């Protein structure tokens, strides 16, 4: 599976699972019910879906220009950490506003997710590639016939 179809399947699966973790994690950490953190998780997921599609597209564009077109552990970690760090810029102010808490409190509330999500992203990406195969950007160039 390649192209936009691959990205849509990837983002959909990633975010449905991620939304579940977010709603439950925020409820547990804030001492509120998932019913109150669920709408926030939906908004977080919407932001994450949009950003994930953009970020992964940019990453694959960069990846396709590299001499080595394989997904090494280092490259997978760079993708996971880069995505999560940039996502935090969007989410911390949202969480603070939604829950009527300070940015520091929002950061502390999100800290467990901040630590968990890169590990989740790394594992998800690895499993996704195992199940659906690598994207064209990570496949070696075909060798010419001799």
Q: What angle do CA 21, 49, 113 make, to 5 degrees?
A: 30
User: Has this prediction a pTM greater than 0.85?
Assistant: no
Given a contact cutoff of 8 angstroms between Cβ atoms, the answer to whether 140 and 69 are in contact is yes
pLDDT tens, residue by residue, 105-141? 899 888 877 788 778 888 899 999 999 888 877 778 7
Instruction: Count the alpha carbons within 13 Å of 107 in the hemisphere toward its beta carbon.
Output: 5
Per-residue pLDDT of the chain (146 residues; tens, 9 = 90+): 687 898 899 988 988 888 888 888 888 888 888 888 889 988 988 898 899 889 999 998 998 888 887 888 999 899 988 998 899 898 999 999 998 889 998 998 888 777 887 788 888 999 999 998 888 777 787 776 66
């Amino acid at each position: 599976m390649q192209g936009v179809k691959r990205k849509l399947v990837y983002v959909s699966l990633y975010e449905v699972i991620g939304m579940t973790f977010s709603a439950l994690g925020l409820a547990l950490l804030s001492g509120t019910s998932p019913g109150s953190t669920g709408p926030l998780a939906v908004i977080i997921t919407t932001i994450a879906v949009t950003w994930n599609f953009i970020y992964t597209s940019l990453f694959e564009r960069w990846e396709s220009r590299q001499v080595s077109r394989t997904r090494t552990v280092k490259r997978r970690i760079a993708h996971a950490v880069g995505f999560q760090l940039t996502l935090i810029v969007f989410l911390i102010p949202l969480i603070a506003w939604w829950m009527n808490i300070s940015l520091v409190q929002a950061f502390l509330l999100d800290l467990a997710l901040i630590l968990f999500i890169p590990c989740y992203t790394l594992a998800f990406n690895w499993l996704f590639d195992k199940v659906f195969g690598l994207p064209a950007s990570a496949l070696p160039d075909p060798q010419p016939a001799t």
